[in-house]
A and B are shown apart, each in its own frame.
Chain A
Amino acid sequence: MTTDLAQERRDTTAPPKTAARVTDLVKTYGSGDTAVTALKGVSLDIAAGEFTAIMGPSGSGKSTLMHCAAGLDSVTRGSVQLGAIELTTLKEKDLTKVRRDHIGFVFQSFNLIPTLNAEENILLPLSIAGRKPDRAWYDHVIATVGLGDRLGHRPGELSGGQQQRVACARALVSRPEIIFADEPTGNLDSTSGAEVLGFLRRSVDDFGQTIVMVTHDPGAASWTDRVVFLADGRIVTELREPTPERILETMKSLDAKHVDAKVQG
């Protein structure tokens, strides 16, 4: 059953090998003397059906990269392609539609609508778009998230972990090409965090979902297939099949290099 659905999903979305492609991305805040360049020419391919983590020290530009890739922020230069769509030239209105129809979001602070119950929150992107949920898919997502009995509750009545799982379900239910998760476990204890990460992992394995996650937690990043490291607005290295230890090592060496570079420069 699970594999069927996953299979079906892969077939219907007929994935290009690359779900998203960022090319020579430059992002500068402010202008003149006060200008700060957060991204200094980043190029990155996100493979479809893969779970990618973006890591880096504070100020490395990892959040900016995600915001730009997700169409939440404008870019100064370069290109962002989502499937066949070039985001950087889109008008606000079309960008909104792209976010609605092709992208899913999971934020650090759960960001649910407090007046809507769990089910209404999950269905929100679909109802905004005026689309009917695919019932089988919906049931399947709900079953995977494990919220069956809490659907009528409002966010205020759910635990942090439950809220974040609602947020994940909301991101999944519209079958977006790609889900962006911004520190999804940042506000959770380790047990709840593991639940959420497990759920994200399963949706990649079982449904072929593409997920990009920004995190600074090596433990969280170790659930992914690929970790991309950013430092000072550039991609410096990446790991495949990461483990917490390898991630930590890489981060340490990055910090050292970073400091060296600064000292020498």
Chain B
Amino acid sequence: MLRASWKSLMARKLRLFMSAFAIILGVAFVAGSFVFTDTLGRSFDSIMNSSVGDVVVRPVAGDVDIESQPSSATLPGSLVKELADVPGAARADGNITNFGTFVVGKDGKLIGGFGPPGIGINFTDGPAAKGLEPLTLNAGRWPTAGGEVVVDEKTAEKAGYLIGEKVNLVSSGAEPRIQAKLVGIAHMDGGTAGASLSIFDTGEARRLFMDGNDTYTDIWVSAADGTSQAELRDAVAAKLPKDVEAVTGDAAAKAAASDIQEALGFITTFLLIFAGVALVVGSFLIVNTFSILVAQRSRELALFRALGSTRRQVARSVLFEASVIGLIGSIIGLGLGVVIAMGIRVLFGQFGLDLSGQSLIISPRTIVVSLVVGLVVTLVAAYLPARKAGKVPPVAAMRDDAILAESGMRGRTIVGTILTALGAGLLAAGLFADVPSPTYWVGGGILGVVLGMALISPIVGRPVIAAIGWLYRKTFGAVGLMAQQNAQRNPRRTGATASALMIGVTLVSMMAVFGASAKASIDKAVEKEFVADYVVSSAVGTPFSTEVTEELAAVPGVDEVAAFRWDQVKVKGEDRQVTGIDPSHIGVLGPTPMVEGRLADLTTTTVSVAEELATTDKLSVGSTIDLTRGGTTKPFTVGAIHGDSALLSSDYLLSLPALESLGGAKTDSYAFITRESGAAAAQVGRDLDKALADLPVVTVKDQGEFADEQRAQINQMLYLIYALLGLAVIIAILGIINTLALSVIERTKEIGLLRAVGLSRRQLKRMLRLESIVIALLGAALGIGLGVAFGVALQRSLADDGIDVLAVPWPQLGLFVALAGLVGIIAAWWPGWRASKLDILRAVTTE
């Protein structure tokens, strides 16, 4: 029996490859995401291991997220000496670190991009944990005096500086522009993952980053021989002042690496979602292929039954075929996954996250998961067709006609409707109700609706097919009529094939509606609430020196400059967003609806609370709340309660001095600028650009450019998603090809007759093309219907988060329909070609 299935498998290589293709793509995404994540993890593990001492002493940071501003709390220089004398300590070194120091290349462009930090540090010869040398010199020497700098090799190479040359740097410290002589090139084992390192003499670093004080950001204590990290930590901890902690190097490295991995975890999630989409679409293809194969082979299967095979044996032979496909698909997919991981690595290298120092990691888990996923999906998808195969009655072998009667639509309709309703419920709950981990609800809901719709698509699709059919008959006569009727001949097959396309189109349309709504919302916000004429923002995602803001205020024609800082505080143990604002220039930030009080009246001891939060926490003007940032906690009096506006939607608003008193860094996230009335817009814009010419770390944009930039970001995200969903469409095309090709084989005789009575090859191809287009348009129609519904739901659920305008991009959706038609045309090409090459005589005389 197995031998027979193997032979039938080999006889259908091409068709099986097309089914396997879906598995290959799905598994490739699974494998690719695992390989990439592992590689990323290993890369950061090794970086972090050389970025910690045996014991790290640092201000209690609370849980400062790596995306928020670093703490400005520092350690006194005297502590270094004290810790060096702790029993078990070999030495102690004070470190100064600044996460906003970038090298400017010879071409005036900033080295590094959006994401990886530009790190400025002081040089010490202290070892990292376990005696590792954190940095080694490739060339030159370490800095010993002010005006000298050493940079890492990648940065030096990219910037094009040689030893002895003057290097330009920009910094978020007190001096926004730094010029120093390059005295050495440093190397870090395992690379820097795209971060740039600028190493200064300790005295210089103190001047640049610590306002000249004898203070450090953290201290490394190295263990003497025979002392463990934990022992040393305990000894050190006993000597520490309040709000300072000691952690072992291992713990610190692990925490730092996992923080970064968590922050980059969205990549894995993203890839796994696409893996899921590909596998769901792929399973449709497999169900369809196997159903058709079983239908065509029913006579052969019946013969097996007549010869004494049990139902189970027949079903098992089909499942055996499926498992071979699943396994082969998974293995190829695994290989492709490694290629995908390489691709992602290159892509991320473009954005600055350079992982070329770490080879790809293919762990046993990756292999096992990939193979299991591929195999299980294939077997599950093939189960129903296999069971049907087992049900072929032995007598079918003796009969001409036959054989597998289509079971009724009723059960299918009921299950499909329930699934759709259930999915819609889950989706609604995830979007609008307060449920834990809503993403899963939304994902599950979408899956439910899509699967449900796929089941009932043969019924729901009827009017669509009828409408297209009417058009076909009017336009193409008999050929059109036959095309439409062929599409309707086996509604399940057509439905399943169309559904594969539907899934991709659904997600694409949903994102299109969401993206258009987001863009329209931005336009509206900019138009209505944007008062500033210019926005200054960071080009690298890290905040910039306040010096910049001050310099801009001096540019002629500038009226007001309002600094703006994102930050995070903890209130009652929960992370809350806070925005630091300048109360004296509050007007520049646009009209903010106030419930009580005025933002202009904020002082160093008062805070404005968001309306919603004030209601839930029962706060009113005059109440007191404790805000904690890093290790610092201070009481604030509620001075105002603000409603939502485009810029000021944080939970808390503090004046800049108030934020600094909590330890917030003196760096700005944005600066908003208004023009003096009467100043020439073009001139002021040019002057601002000129003022910032040697500071590539920030950019200045006028209102229009700012809105464009925001829109461009959304577009970029959309294009990426479209590109990935394009793969789902390719799988769907293969599905249509497969279905059509199998149908052509089924209808060999009919096609022969048509050719005999005078249907030309062109007309035959056209007939198949039209049938293919019906399937594709059905998928597109269902997909756009669902996608628009999902998109509207998504927009509604985010209306409070700033996406308050619903925009449905009809022209774009129309384009999707046109593209679907094109997909149909492409998919029909090969089956049409094959059909037209059929030998008429043989076709007519085939029994």
Contact = CB atoms under 8 A, between A and B. Distances in A.
Contacts of A97: 758, 760
B756 A128 contact: no
Contacts of A157: none
B758 A101 contact: yes
Question: Would you call the interface of chain A mostly helix, strand, loop, or mixed?
Answer: helix
Contacts of A170: 757
B840 to A, nearest CB: 6
A107 B753 contact: yes
Contact of A72 (B489, B750, B763, B841): B841
Given A100-B757, A116-B481, A128-B478, A111 B844 contact: yes
B467 to A, nearest CB: 18
Interface in A71-116: 72-73, 92-93, 96-97, 99-101, 105, 107, 109, 111-116
Contact of B757 (A67, A92, A105, A109): A105
Contacts of A115: 482, 485-486, 488-489
Contacts of A105: 753, 756-757
Interface stretch (A50-58, A119-127, A195-203): A119-127
A30 interface: no
B477 interface: yes
Nearest to A129: B758
Given A115-B485, A116-B485, A127-B477, A100 B758 contact: yes
Contact of A128 (B761, B763, B840): B763
B847 interface: yes
Interface string B814-847: 0000000000000000000000000011001001
Interface string B142-180: 000000000000000000000000000000000000000
Contacts of A32: none
B841 A67 contact: yes
A116 B757 contact: no
Contacts of A96: 755, 758-761
Interface string B741-761: 000000001100111111111
A130 interface: yes
Nearest to B762: A93
B389 interface: no
B489 A128 contact: no
Contacts of B756: 72, 99, 105, 107, 111
B211 to A, nearest CB: 85
A170 B759 CA distance: 14
Given A72-B841, A127-B477, A128-B763, A113 B755 contact: no
Nearest to A156: B401
Query: For B750, B755, B756, B847, which residue has the most chain A Cβ atoms within 10 angstroms?
Result: B756
Contacts of B759: 96, 100, 128
Nearest to B756: A105
A127 B478 contact: yes
A72 B755 CA distance: 9
B501 interface: no
A80 B485 CA distance: 37
A105 B752 CA distance: 12
B479 interface: yes
B381 to A, nearest CB: 29
Contacts of A99: 756-758
Nearest to B400: A109
Contacts of B479: 128
B840 A72 contact: yes
B29 to A, nearest CB: 40
Contact of B753 (A67, A113, A123, A127): A113
A198 B758 CA distance: 26
B175 to A, nearest CB: 81
B740 to A, nearest CB: 15
Interface residues of A, number: 28
Interface string A37-51: 000000000000000
A179 B479 CA distance: 23
A50 to B, nearest CB: 23
Given A113-B482, A116-B481, A120-B478, A128 B757 contact: yes
B486 A92 contact: no
Interface string B465-491: 000000000000111011001101100
Contacts of B481: 116, 120, 127
A111 B763 CA distance: 19
B189 to A, nearest CB: 71
Nearest to A115: B485
Interface string A128-163: 111000000000000000000000000000000000
A73 B756 CA distance: 11
A85 B303 CA distance: 49
Contacts of B477: 127-128, 130
B485 to A, nearest CB: 4
Contacts of B755: 96
Contact of A114 (B478, B750, B763): B750
A125 B755 CA distance: 10
Contacts of A92: 761
Contacts of B760: 93, 96-97, 100
A128 B756 CA distance: 12
Nearest to A92: B761
Contacts of B488: 115
Query: For B757, B760, B840, which residue has the most chain A Cβ atoms within 10 angstroms?
Result: B757
A11 B763 CA distance: 33
Contact of B758 (A107, A113, A114, A125): A125
A113 B750 contact: yes
Nearest to B483: A115
A117 B549 CA distance: 81
A232 to B, nearest CB: 21
A124 B479 CA distance: 9
B841 A111 contact: no
Interface in B757-794: 757-761, 763
A124 B847 CA distance: 23
B401 to A, nearest CB: 10
Nearest to B840: A72
Interface in B97-141: none
Nearest to A108: B845
Nearest to A67: B841
A123 B482 CA distance: 13
A216 B757 CA distance: 24
A222 B837 CA distance: 38
A93 B481 CA distance: 23
A170 B478 CA distance: 14
Nearest to A99: B758
A93 to B, nearest CB: 6
B508 to A, nearest CB: 33
A120 B754 CA distance: 13
A82 B840 CA distance: 20
Given A67-B841, A105-B757, A127-B477, A111 B482 contact: no
B304 to A, nearest CB: 26
A99 B752 CA distance: 13
Given A96-B759, A124-B757, A109 B482 contact: no
A94 B753 CA distance: 17
Query: For B482, B758, B763, which residue has the most chain A Cβ atoms within 10 angstroms?
Result: B758
B757 A125 contact: yes
A133 to B, nearest CB: 12
A97 to B, nearest CB: 7
A111 B753 contact: yes
24 contacts: A72-B841, A72-B844, A92-B761, A93-B760, A93-B761, A96-B758, A97-B758, A97-B760, A99-B756, A100-B758, A100-B759, A100-B760, A105-B753, A105-B757, A109-B749, A111-B750, A113-B750, A114-B750, A115-B489, A116-B481, A116-B485, A125-B758, A128-B478, A128-B757
User: Which are the 3 A-B pairs with shortest beta-carbon distances?
Assistant: A100-B758, A127-B478, A115-B485
Given A99-B757, A116-B485, 15 more contacts: A73-B841, A96-B759, A96-B760, A100-B759, A105-B753, A111-B753, A114-B489, A123-B478, A124-B754, A125-B758, A127-B477, A128-B477, A128-B754, A128-B763, A170-B757
